[in-house]
Structure 1
Amino acid sequence: MPEDLIALITALAGRSSESECLEFKRGNADPERIGRDICAMSNSAALLGHTYAYKIWGIDDDSHEVAGTDFDPGTTTIGRQGLEIWLRQHLSDNVEFQFETVEMNGKHLVLLRIWPAQYRPALWNGLAYIRSGSSTQELKHGSRREEELWIRTRSEIFELQLAATELTTDEVFNLIDVDWYRQEFGIPPTTSPQQLLHMLASEQLIVTQDSGRHAITNLGALMFARNLETFPTVSRKALRVIRYEGTSSIAPSRSRTFSSGYSRLDDMLDYIETLLPEREVITGARRTTIRAFPHTALRELTANMLIHQDLSITGAGPMVCIFDGRIEFTNPGRSLVDVARLLNDPPHSRNEKMAALCRRMNLCEEAGSGWDKIVLDCESNHMPAPSIEEPGDNLRVTLLQATPFRDLTMQQRIDSAYWHACMQYAQRQPMTNASLRERFDLPSSAASQISRLLKVCLDGNILKVADPEAGKRYVRYLPSWA
């Protein structure tokens, strides 16, 4: 939405005093002073968690009345250079600012909007500056404030950046599915719009801007957007599901992009499962539908893919590709944990605020149990272990339909044995020849086949013997790292 600059300036002028992120001037357009102030206010905005800092020419700094100014950033030059170009040459490249002009009460005003420093402190001519109250001063190297500023700028959170700004209450409710939000959290339909706005803000799904209007965060858009395409910052993060004919990606037959927010996970899963093969079996007098892929594994993989993707990677989003006999889950971003230790290492969440919100909505557990459920579901249904790859900057997990042991490749057998060992270790249960036979749905007569597989795993340092002194009938196995 176009911003109402007059409403913004009026709101800012109504504040009781100047601050670290707000300054009024009638004149004093010295370029050096402007550069230092941009640097200092950018650092202060980052340190204090403000969306922007502002410097306004044409407002009296004592009375805050509209006085007007002769300053014109568009025509001001230093040597032969325009002011903005000159400022950018002397500021570090992590500083963003914008001059805007407006006529107010028949007088000329200039608004300088300054974004918070990102990734590291802002610099002016190689030096960092900071604000103390309404004064600009050099940031002392090694000081507590410098240390805290480094921490703040390094922890830039994509989820809390703004996806849409300058919105009225009605516009927020048109873009965010507040009815679904109320349903998920059990909020009465009689709740007032102002109370709803307060709740959305407390969840960091929206923020109130300096103008008094509202902005929707990337977190709010990703979780509760009515249509993700409305938000350019996250439009490419919509889940895409593609069904292919056969086993290659040459011939897609059906495709759907889910434009709704991730809180509609169940709708996504319902659609995915309609594309999967199933069969009916009759047990006694009852007819039972058996799906080729178990629901729990599908749910965990879809949720993990959405929640743990790297949101900073542009131009790519989560994707589910369904082929004959297999289904692939791909998301931007490599795993934060060694892929061989996904089941046993402590959990790491790339998008902590989204993960916490999804846990409260029972979309995930945020306790590291997702991979346990996936592997256990594969074992219970005698499917090959999930295949995990990291092509480029992506993570891809592949599920294969249940396959007889004789038709598995040696690598698939080894992977299944390894993940079975990890699962048994996590459950504090022994892995034995018998437990691995059960995992592959093999009779006791296949013990020699499993023994040969175990020897391959031992020789390849995939597994190790838990107690080398134990007799053959009592040998137990562990993952090699245990």
Structure 2
Amino acid sequence: MSFNRQLKHEIEQGESKTLEFKRELPKGEQLSKTLVAFANTSGGKLIIGVDDQRRIVGIQGDEFELMDQVASIVHAQCLPTLLPSIYLETIKQKTLLVVQVHRGSQLPYFLKSKGRDDGTYVRIGASNRPASLDMIHELERQRLNQSFDEQASWEVELKQLDLTPLYNAFTQQGKTLDEQRLQSLKLVKQEHDQLRPTHGLLILLGHYEHVEIKCARFKGDNMAVFLDKKEYRGDLFQQLSQAEIFIKNHLHLRAEILGLQRTDTYEIPIPAIREALINAVVHRDYSNFGRDIKLGIYDDCVNIVSPGGLPNGITLEEALQGRSEIRNKVVARVFRELGYIEQWGSGMARIRQLCQEAKTPKPVFKEIGDSFDIEFLRDQSLQGTVEEKAGGAIGGAIGGAIENLTTAQQSVLAVIQANPSYPYRKIAEELNINPSAVQKHLEKLKELGVIERVGGTRGYWQVKI
């Protein structure tokens, strides 16, 4: 595609995170706000000579004088210094003035007249928004190639933390986690002659209130009526297991006869959902303490929304092509070490591939404002079948039982799924509850046919859903 045709195609697509139209040269600080926002986000083009309806009207007056005006405005109003590409393009015999800015390396960029705190703008969707102080700090970290989760936390002492969930996760992979390893993974950091936990360690342990996954099953295709609702906290590994169980409890099974065997599979491939949950947990914005991951199950789709949008200026098109930008380096490094991540940038491609192999609809990836959204479409043909029971069990026998599990029983089930060899005392330790209570939960789960003990005392738990 020629450059001219490419620009025409971009105009036809409309304004976006990286594209804005103006009929004529903006007055005041409008032009500078847009260019500053582009430089702080993903870069972009301001095209002068196109109206709000995407009609190409062309620029009026002397083209070269307009180019000089743009250069003067940018020099006079923007800090640090921006060096945009300013050039002319002709489409449909109309001349357009294009001002292109790449993502800058001297973040944050701001308006001189307002200063850094009030004059920093970012691009959210197709609009320019003033950056909050948290956003400005994040831009500064990006300039220094640091992530929020690498920084030391002064909120809690290392000795006050229970690292058992993390030690267990490494032990299950046949790996050790000593003090040297904690430092090399940047889970702890030497500050003023003492070891401090990093934000990454506190995030992995679920120490912060906003580190949670809120799950809901709604009636119909909107959020008007709740059918089920759970909020999962604790360490990230436990949250992932519990969220996966919640989804399974509300999905249908489709049956397929292969030879003399009946095979039952979930309407959406569970490995694809698991990958989407991992992506949400690893790549969300943890520096924003007011938001959490939300998982909604509707009649027509399963929707996972994580706060923060795509990290470090990456666009959706780049992400879908496999470009990887890591927002949370500590969390990502630990998940890679434990085998949750195979290779950087492969998450979206793997989700699409798994859905394609399962012959289910393509998942939809969207960046909506400063959130990232993954939507799995559900099979409407399964609505109203016996497989509609929670848990998807044939005939609804197991499914109906799971639907009635208490939160504590679901927590026990989540630990068993992640650690099948755990004895009841270890499960009690993991959940910080009484061992006798765990025994009662296990007996109830066995009675319902949800789990089975294989191999006696030295055996393991088998989950039958």
TM range (shorter): 0.3 to 0.5
Q: TM-score, normalised by structure 1?
A: 0.45
Flag the structure with larger Rg.
1
* TM-score normalised by structure 2 residue count: 0.46
Higher RCO structure (Cα 8 Å, ≥6 apart):
2
